[in-house]
A and B are shown apart, each in its own frame.
Chain A
Amino acid sequence: MGDLYLIFKNVTRKKLRLFLTLFATFIAFMIYGVLMAFQMALDSGVELSADDRLIVVNKVNFTQPLPLSYVTRIRSVEGVAESAHMSWFGGYYQDPKNFMPMFAVEQDRFLDVYDEIVIPDAQRKAWLQNRQGLLIGESVAKRFGWKVGDRVPISSNIFSRKTGGQTWDFDIEAIYRGADPSFDTSGVYFHFKYFDEARTFGQNQTGFVAVRTEDPALNEQVIKAIDDQFANSFFETETVPEKAFNKAFIEQLGNIALIIQFVVLAAFFIILVIVGNSMALAIRERTNEIAVMKTLGFRSGRIFRMVLGESFLVAILGGGLGVLASVALTRLITENVATLPPLIMKPEIFLSAAGYILLLGFVTGILPALSAWRLNIITALSR
């Protein structure tokens, strides 16, 4: 009889217990996979920031405006390759609940600053040519069922139009996807010209300016040059690398990362306790058997390996299924909840999950395995 066969026989001896232990492990790793995917989606804005992109905002706060005249002055700074200014629109479709991150952008330059936005050539042209053209992300299209060629009314909770009302008409001209699958495609962009001519207030002002530098090595110098230029003016600027800007933005949510870790830890703790106990119990119940096996000439080391193998088998089986379930679940969430950024199960998640699975197998098996290894035949059989 091979060791593997023995391990398998031992594990499946009590089917109900095996099922419950596997189920608990399964649950833990399913939670782990999904929460890690969430965590990574939250961080993806930071991960995918370009090293050579800077954001210029009003020094008081990024919600305060900047004069439009700054745009050309920023563009002429040494080391700036390209720049595009953007204004927050506060857009929503029909109901304030259907709110979307929507910006009026300097349309001719925007796509050069954000070159990770991928659009079919024909659509790109069409969007640039139509003043009321709208560029939407794939997830927005999915969320509202919009197609290229649709005419849609979008309301703003900030800007009303000179002709009255807060509802603006747009033609959907282009749908973009990200160069990277975890790129968030919930953004909506339209022409600044259309926006500035029709709005009732705020003319000649913009929200912030996105800048591309010629080389990330020049960032420090460009930041200093821009901010110095406007120092002591009424609208002082603060220029930050995009990565830092996105990170600060996410941190405004509070300690999301901490909360996620807290939940994962609690789930893991439960599992460890349950699986560890089941393992210990299984070995205790078989004290006699192990003693008999030793009497028959099974070496201690071999028995040690077999017991440890049992706990590894349970961990790998339950954990593996749990990770698979989290793959299915993240896909389901991404398909059906368009308001969330795409949840991608990255290789890192599989790797770390595999590490934890092995750790679980080791921690839960080591004590029972040691006690089986040390078991004295005489005392065991005389019990």
Chain B
Amino acid sequence: MRLLSQTWVVIIMNIRSLPSRFSMSLATIFAVAAVVGVLLFFLAMGNGFRATLEGAGSDAVAVVTREGSQSEINSVLGRDQVNLIANAPGIARDDAGNPIISAELYVIVDGIKESTKTKVNLPLRGLSQAGFDLRDNVKITDGRMFSPGRNEIIVGEGVLKEFGGFSLGKKITFGKTTWEVVGIFTTGGSAFESELWADARSVQDQFRRGNSFQTMRLRLETPGDVSALQAYAKTDPRLNVKIETEANYFSTQGDAIKGYVIFGWGVSIIMGLGALAGALNTMYTSVASRAREIATLRAIGFSNVSAFMGTLVEGILLSLLGGVLGIVATYLFIDGNSAATIGASFTQVVFTFTLSPDLMVQGGWIALAIGVLGGFFPAFRAARLPVVIAFE
């Protein structure tokens, strides 16, 4: 008990004397804040990108692509294959008893990025009203749905944020055809918002696709269960297709940004070592400047544990302050910003930097690690200071 109260007194003394070592302490706080800030920047990026893709995938919807194509852009499905799959078991049916399916095209067109004025790849998806209805949480937020057979386009909100020239009423030329933007849609921030949607038949005509499609989506009778469909496809030699839930399809697409996250951790850990050097410097200086004070406390009966704890807590406190500063700065300046990068389908994915509580905790951990390491060794020195210093 006495030990606890002693320790408490020493901690309070240390904290009260912080202003006398103001610049050193502030340097440590800033150094840790920079490390945490850099780490959270990359984590928020990876997190936002993944959320965008995983939010696009529904468990109740299956995606059909040609075997081995790995992404929608490389897939091809003929009209006859589409018809065969429409007859497969395990597909949910609408009130009229028809299977709920959507045969779609996915082609890449040029857009212009607002911030750099350079050309980027944007996905143009050809689909029908059925495809629109098949997706959960799609809403037209402005304008109207395209009419079948017309060269009309609806534009995802993500596209509007990052790329120019797609506002409502704008006329856009792809090749020889001019398309008109008649609507803006949202899908609640998922990957589909980085797309342009148009009528499948118009896209087939424009891109000379005859009567072929690229992918199919269908609503499942039992969400998550594609086994009946897969078995059906296996028995028919005409169907060389891969069938998986949309959630599954998109989760593999999310790996595209993994490299950034690994890079972010690597850089942060190396920077963390630099910050640790700074923290150690600060804490050793703190011990040196209070050497007489510590020795005096020891002389009047305080234990060396209290001297140790006092210094350790000071180090941890400084680092955690830095961590909080880094988290707050990231939250204010980075969280919620949108950005775009190229995804697995070779097209732009617009995502939002998302700082979740879980990531903040990770930032807190790295700050704590710097604090504990940066405080431990100097604290050890404080505990072993010879008492005689007090009488010199």
> Which A residues are closer than 8 A to B by beta carbons?
16-17, 20-21, 23-24, 27-28, 30-31, 58-61, 63-64, 90, 96, 155-158, 160, 166, 201, 232, 234-236, 247-248, 251-255, 259, 262-263, 266-267, 269-271, 273-274, 276-278, 280-281
User: Are A96 and B70 in contact, CB atoms less than 8 angstroms apart?
Assistant: yes
B174 near A: Cβ within 8 Å? yes
User: Are B348 and A274 in contact, CB atoms less than 8 angstroms apart?
Assistant: no
Q: For residue A271, which residue of chain B has the nearest CB?
A: B274
> Given A31-B267, A254-B341, A270-B271, A158 and B69 touching (CB < 8 A)?
yes
Listed A/B pairs (7) with beta-carbon separation below 8 Å: A61-B110, A90-B74, A262-B41, A267-B274, A270-B275, A277-B24, A277-B278
User: Are A64 and B277 in contact, CB atoms less than 8 angstroms apart?
Assistant: no
Chain A residues within 8 Å of B76, by CB: 201
B238 near A: Cβ within 8 Å? no
Interface residues of B in 67-126 (CB under 8 A from A): 67-71, 73-74, 76, 107-110, 113, 115-116, 118-121
Chain A residues within 8 Å of B109, by CB: 60-61
> Given A157-B70, A247-B118, A248-B119, A270 and B342 touching (CB < 8 A)?
no
User: Are A251 and B116 in contact, CB atoms less than 8 angstroms apart?
Assistant: yes
Cβ proximity bits B253-279 to A, threshold 8 Å, 1 near / 0 not: 000000000000001001101110110
Q: For residue A276, which residue of chain B has the nearest CB?
A: B27
The segment from B30-38, B152-160, B300-308 found at the interface with A is B30-38
B23 near A: Cβ within 8 Å? yes
> Which B residues are closer than 8 A to A by beta carbons?
23-24, 27, 30-31, 34-35, 37-38, 41, 67-71, 73-74, 76, 107-110, 113, 115-116, 118-121, 174-176, 207-208, 240, 267, 270-271, 273-275, 277-278, 280-282, 284-285, 339-342, 346, 348
User: Are B277 and A63 in contact, CB atoms less than 8 angstroms apart?
Assistant: no
Considering the chains assembled together, what is the distance between the CA atoms of A58 and B41 in angstroms? 37
If A251-B120, A270-B271 are given as contacts, then 16 extra A-B residue pairs at C-beta distance below 8 Å, sorted by A number, are A23-B273, A24-B278, A31-B270, A58-B175, A60-B175, A63-B346, A90-B74, A156-B68, A251-B118, A263-B38, A266-B37, A269-B30, A269-B34, A270-B275, A274-B274, A277-B282
Chain B residues within 8 Å of A277, by CB: 23-24, 27, 278, 281-282
Considering the chains assembled together, what is the distance between the CA atoms of A297 and B281 in angstroms? 33
Which one of A17, A251, A273 contacts B31 once the chains associate, using CB atoms below 8 Å?
A: A273
Considering the chains assembled together, what is the distance between the CA atoms of A269 and B29 in angstroms? 12
User: Are B74 and A266 in contact, CB atoms less than 8 angstroms apart?
Assistant: no
Chain A residues within 8 Å of B348, by CB: 252
User: Are B118 and A28 in contact, CB atoms less than 8 angstroms apart?
Assistant: no
Pick the most buried of A20, A30, A201: most chain B CB atoms within 10 A of its CB.
A20
Considering the chains assembled together, what is the distance between the CA atoms of A31 and B270 in angstroms? 8
Considering the chains assembled together, what is the distance between the CA atoms of A155 and B107 in angstroms? 22
User: Are A252 and B41 in contact, CB atoms less than 8 angstroms apart?
Assistant: no
> Given A63-B108, A157-B74, A254 and B27 touching (CB < 8 A)?
no
> Given A157-B68, A274-B278, A17 and B284 touching (CB < 8 A)?
yes
Q: Would you give the shortest CB distance from B69 to chain A, in whole angstroms?
A: 5
Q: Would you give the shortest CB distance from B65 to chain A, in whole angstroms?
A: 10
Q: Would you give the shortest CB distance from A333 to chain B, in whole angstroms?
A: 11
Q: For residue B162, which residue of chain A has the nearest CB?
A: A254
Pick the most buried of A64, A253, A273: most chain B CB atoms within 10 A of its CB.
A273
User: Are A266 and B24 in contact, CB atoms less than 8 angstroms apart?
Assistant: no
Pick the most buried of B116, B267, B274, B346: most chain A CB atoms within 10 A of its CB.
B274
Q: Would you give the shortest CB distance from A146 to chain B, in whole angstroms?
A: 22
Q: For residue B70, which residue of chain A has the nearest CB?
A: A157
Which one of B27, B37, B67 contacts A273 once the chains associate, using CB atoms below 8 Å?
A: B27
User: Are A253 and B341 in contact, CB atoms less than 8 angstroms apart?
Assistant: yes
List the 9 closest A-B pairs by CB distance, nearest first: A274-B278, A254-B341, A27-B274, A24-B277, A20-B277, A273-B27, A270-B31, A63-B108, A266-B34
